[in-house]
Amino acid sequence: MPANHFNTHCPDWATALLNGFSQIFLQRHPLFGLLCLLAILFTAPALLGGALLGGVAGLLTAQRRNYAKADRQAGLFSYNGVLLGLLLSLYFPWSAMLPPLILAAGGLSAMITQQWLKRVRVSQYLPAYTAPFVGLGWLLLCFATPSTDAHLIEITALNMLAAPLKGFGQVMFLGHPLAGAMIAAGLLIADRRAFCWALLASVAGMGWSMWHHDVYSALIGLGGYNAILAALAFSSQRQQPWLPLVGIASALLLTPVFAVIGLPTLTAPFILACWLIRTLVQILGKATATHTPCTLEDNPPRLR
């Protein structure tokens, strides 16, 4: 079903919220967002309430503060809230304090996103990606009890086949292969090119972890989820088809850095990899422009 056909049968607020789920994977597609939501419901129902609260908090904050409707409908103020809701539901026990904390975190992430968007649109500011989620997540995890739930997992053909699917799910803290399959199917519906790059990234992440003898991370999908996001960030670059490969490699190389410095990984390697690549591309582009004579006809002004 095309996204625009889905939109005509879905209220504005629901479309905005579902787009928030799909924006976690840098897509705007409510059907994909619905599959992400159902993946949580079917494989980790205890996290669903937090995800919805975080997404709704971001959306309501954007509405109350009269942020641009186009941005609200695109899900740009919800996806960081969804991730924060998932994170808090996973690491903190449910209590009377948890829902207000999720609402506050989701609302604050929307305000940070708005300020970031304003700067991006008036300058060559780097995109926010999931930076509000990572920054607030690091702060909140200072008060969480460290998790020690690491289990042995056997190297079997079934586990090897399921591992790339789990990489899709781990973007949203979901380790069940069914969740990964549903998310992968949603991405395939939304953008086949992006799906192919993401699948390659997940396989590469699994192989990278196996090569470093980290069998546990490889087989539960933790080795590939940042590479998936980095590949998705550049998957639409048809004029520079090598960028997704550079994104995948950079995310994989940067992932161990955060463990060494003692910070939770979250999606920080993906963000840092994308920022470094975009900065390098901008520098190279400026250097090329200074050595290439051009006229106004060569580079006509673009409306933004």
When pLDDT is averaged across residues 235-249 and rounded to a whole number, the result is 89
For residue 135, what are the CA distances in angstroms to 119, 132, 145, 170, 226? Answer: 18, 5, 18, 19, 16
- pLDDT category, 300, cuts 50, 70, 90? very low
Please give the Cα distance from 226 to 256 (Å, whole number): 11
Please give the Cα distance from 49 to 186 (Å, whole number): 21
Q: Which domains does the chain have, with CATH numbers?
A: 12-142 (1.10.3430.10), 157-289 (1.10.3430.10)
In a 10 Å sphere around its CB, with 0-12 CB exposed, 13-18 middle and 19+ buried, how is residue 131 labelled?
Answer: buried
Residue 37 neighbours by CB under 8 Å, 6+ apart: 18, 21, 48, 51, 52
What pLDDT does residue 282 have? 87
137-194 pLDDT per residue, tens: 999 999 988 765 656 788 888 989 999 999 999 999 999 999 999 999 999 999 999 9
142-155 pLDDT per residue, tens: 998 876 565 678 88
When pLDDT is averaged across residues 197-217 and rounded to a whole number, the result is 95
Beta strands (DSSP E) in the chain are none
* Residue 15: how many other CB atoms lie within 10 Å: 22
Identify the CA nearest to 166 among candidates 82, 54, 48, 44: 44
8-51 pLDDT per residue, tens: 566 788 999 999 999 999 999 999 999 999 999 999 999 999 99
When pLDDT is averaged across residues 265-278 and rounded to a whole number, the result is 97
- Encoding tokens for residue 182? 């549903």
Q: What mean pLDDT value characterizes the chain?
A: 90
DSSP conformational letter for 145: P
Q: 285 pLDDT exceeds 90?
A: no
Q: For the whole model, what pTM was predicted?
A: 0.91
For residue 90, what are the CA distances in angstroms to 48, 86, 96, 172? Answer: 10, 6, 16, 11
Helix and strand totals (H; E) in the chain:
15, 0
What pLDDT does residue 303 have? 34
* Residue 70: how many other CB atoms lie within 10 Å: 8
